[in-house]
Structure 1
Amino acid sequence: MLSIKESIKFAMGSIGNAKLRSALTALGIIIGVAAVVANVSLGASFNQFFTDELGTQGSNFIIIYSQDVNIFFDKELNVIKNTPGIDGVSPAKGQTEEVTYLSSKRQISIQGVTADEQDISNLQLEVGSFLTDKDKYVAVLGNDVANTKFDKNISIKNPLEINFKRRDGTNVTQKFIVKGILQKNKATFVGGGPDRDVTIYIPIAIMNELLNTTDYGAFTARTASAESVRNVSNEVDRRLALHLGVPTRDLNNPDAKPYRIFNQADIIDRLNTLANSLTILITMVALISLLVGSIGIMNIMLVTVTERTREIGIMKSLGFNKYDILSLFIVESAMVGLLGGILGVLLGIIGSYLVESFLNLPHIFPVYLIFLGFGIAFIVGLTAGVYPANKAASMDPVEALRHE
């Protein structure tokens, strides 16, 4: 009876004697494994990318948007502020208004906020300083507002005018002095509020004064820890809903509430689900290559059985039993699959690195993918070789020796 070591030696000899055929046989496995490995790696990179992107928008944040005017006031602000686990909260109010700098007029998003907004939303300044709760007619500009939106760049202490549209149809224009300019936002998508690069921040008390209103449009809150953000968000939702008169039976019905609430953990979960779904879809397509590769191995092994019919007869006449012949062909098939797996994993690593570099994604390659790639290739090769091996092992030695 042949040992596994001897079977591997015979298989390596057979593969070495037909290098080109073996390489072409493994090609389908190589492509399939490379595609699977690269796609799973890209999925992990996208997950990390989304997490990092949201981190630049703030940490442990909760955002509550009102769906109508005159919903949120100071009482609602205090409800959120007094919820256990809340580490800070800033009311916000946004409108798109006409902004004039020198002779240029542009439509710019204006956000009324408090001083807490800087820490909650992780607003980093390039020059100047952020708003304080004692400030009046000063503004902090997003990087694009200061450097690309107008005909000339805006600097610290430059004046600009904002024309506010009130709810009663009247307008009021007010001059603001630039107090600070934000750093360019590194995030490539907006995950925690307005796009800060194209936003002007002013004190919310001044915005309400100019608009002749007292309500807020939203609240941005922060929890003490990332682990508590979902539980604290649920508690804020419950307290705010009860405070606004939502019946207890409708606390789990978003449509019964005059606001929408979401948090960082929920956003990450949704984005990761999207990335995972896309990864699974593409990986399923890649598995087709593996199926084609397995059929290719089976076909080549069947051809090999036919070509080596006389050799099989000689081996049986020399005392090789059915198990020996079976193991020889199965090991050879598995070796072809494993060879394809090695090359496929290497190709997958290189491919994922190149794609991640091109898309400016973090390079994430879980170590388990190496073993996954080897495992898939080995199993595919092993499975594809079972039928040809069984056919070879079942040959009648006399008929095999007569084969020309």
Structure 2
Amino acid sequence: MQLGESFSMSMSAIRAHKLRSGLTVLGVVIGVAAVITFVTLGGSLQVGLLGDIGGEGAANVNVWSGPADAEGPPGAGAQPVFTSHDVRELGSLDGVREVVPRGSVPLAAVRDGDDTVALQQATAYGREYFTAEDFREGRTFRQGTNEVVLNPAAASLFEEDLSAGDAVTLTLADGTEVDVRVAGVLDTSTAQDPFEGFSQGPRVYVPTDPFYQRVITSPATGDPERVYPAVFVIADGPEDVEEVQARTLAYLTDESDAATLVPPNVEFVAQTNEQLLDQVREILDTLTAFVTGVAVISLVVGAIGIANIMLVSVTERTREIGIMKAVGARDRDVLGLFLTEAVVLGLVGALVGTVVGLLAGYAGTVYVDLPFVVPWEWGVVAVAVGLLVGVGAGLYPAWNAARTDPIDALRYE
């Protein structure tokens, strides 16, 4: 029997049982679509979260202090020990272009007229942190002014989306109200530094002057100075980052205010963005592998569905098999016929599932404001999996059909 004949007869059998064949294909569609969706979201999440860190931030050394046994994301358990004196001294080290302190300002709410939204904190940076390319509209804040920058998630919290130039009121945790102006709205809600984690939630950014008011007496100068839980030490270039990392740790350990202020069992951490990238990649890869493994279970269910439908089909067509063998069909012809039918079901399910998975992945990236990354290699894998599912699930039913005795088959009612 020619391959074309096997395919034509298989399609006739599939069309004869449209509902049953459709439900069988649906199992494969769900499995493949789930895998493609999760892989797409995982890849998009990596690009969205890690792109800026590995690009413009290639010369950054991220510094904080935390418990020696701390687990979790960068900055977990960070202690406020870096004084303004330390920031100035770090900035004078060889190979250092700039040092940017980072802190948090406790909030209670943000109010736009009569519309009030509860927010717990704002992120404070010690310089005009953002560039013009980061903004959907407006500009970065300026030090010494009552200006804020919002991400799109924060701007959309209000009944009317906030825009650059709007006046709002910040209610600090102690109840103090500060009238501020929105200097700009960022283009994306993705993390703006390694310490913000994976959340796409609303964020408010402010200058340290005048908002960050955590002050301590500097052991070196004896003067009251701001004290920060984290700083970014920016090297002159990516080629200098390792030397700057070593000099930063040496200064903090031996000469800094932080060395005096740091509590027991707390150590200094200075990680380059590349080191942080490796850690985050490992976390994301593990997470993607886990959810993809869960999705593969759907593929197993789809394979069982194909095997079941093929066994039922063999039973229903026992008399047909007997007639085929009586007129000269060989075992391999019958085997090929049923195996082709199973492969068609698996392949159609894989192709449709790939399209559905890409559409679902695209919708997910749009919803969480991530770049859409197409996993082309997984599309090829999905088609291959569809073929394997069809072959694997249809092999036994096809073999069972091929070894049917024609005399018994002709007597079958």
TM-score, shorter chain, exceeding 0.5: yes
Aligned letter for 1:9? S
Secondary structure of the structure 1 residue equivalent to 2:204: helix
Unaligned runs of 5+ in 2: 66-77, 109-119, 173-177, 197-201, 257-263
Q: What residue in structure 1 maps to residue 98 of structure 2?
A: 88
Q: Deviations over 1:247-295 (max 9, x none)?
A: xxxxxxxx97642334433444444444333333322222222111111
Aligned letter for 1:347? V
Q: Deviations over 1:144-190 (max 9, x none)?
A: 6xx99xxxx9x99x9xxxx9xxxxxxxxxxxx9x9x96423443545
1:296 pairs with 2:287: no
Q: What residue in structure 2 maps to residue 183 of structure 1?
A: 184
1:369 pairs with 2:381: no
Aligned letter for 1:199? V
Please tell me whether the aligned partners of residues 26 and 349 of structure 2 are also in contact (alpha carbons under 8 angstroms). Answer: yes
Map 1:1-400 to 2 at 5 A: 2-52=1-51, 60-66=59-65, 78=89, 81-84=92-95, 86-90=96-100, 113=126, 118=129, 126=138, 130-131=142-143, 138-139=144-145, 141-143=147-149, 182-185=183-186, 186-189=188-191, 191-192=193-194, 197-202=204-209, 212-213=223-224, 217=228, 218-224=230-236, 231=242, 234-236=245-247, 238-240=249-251, 243=254, 258-400=267-409
Q: Deviations over 1:113-167 (max 9, x none)?
A: 3x6x647999979469745xxxxxx4363236xx99xxxx9x99x9xxxx9xxxx
Q: Deviations over 1:22-77 (max 9, x none)?
A: 21221111111111111111111211221357589966432223576776675785
Task: State the identity as a percent.
Answer: 28
Aligned letter for 1:311? E
**Aligned partners of 1:242, 1:83: CA distance in 2, in Å?**
17
TM-score w.r.t. length of structure 1: 0.69
Paired residues in the alignment total: 355
Q: Deviations over 1:2-30 (max 9, x none)?
A: 34344323322322333222212211111
RMSD: 4.7
Q: Deviations over 1:318-362 (max 9, x none)?
A: 332222221221111011100111211121122222222222322
Computing the radius of gyration from Cα coordinates, the structure with the larger value is 1
**Aligned partners of 1:227, 1:5: CA distance in 2, in Å?**
62
Unaligned runs of 5+ in 1: 99-106, 132-137, 164-175, 246-254
TM-score w.r.t. length of structure 2: 0.68
Please tell me whether the aligned partners of residues 337 and 378 of structure 1 are also in contact (alpha carbons under 8 angstroms). Answer: yes
Q: Quickly say closer, same or farther: Cα 1:78–1:200, change in 2 above 3 A.
A: closer
Please tell me whether the aligned partners of residues 57 and 122 of structure 1 are also in contact (alpha carbons under 8 angstroms). Answer: no
Aligned letter for 2:224? T
Q: Quickly say closer, same or farther: Cα 1:296–1:193, change in 2 above 3 A.
A: closer
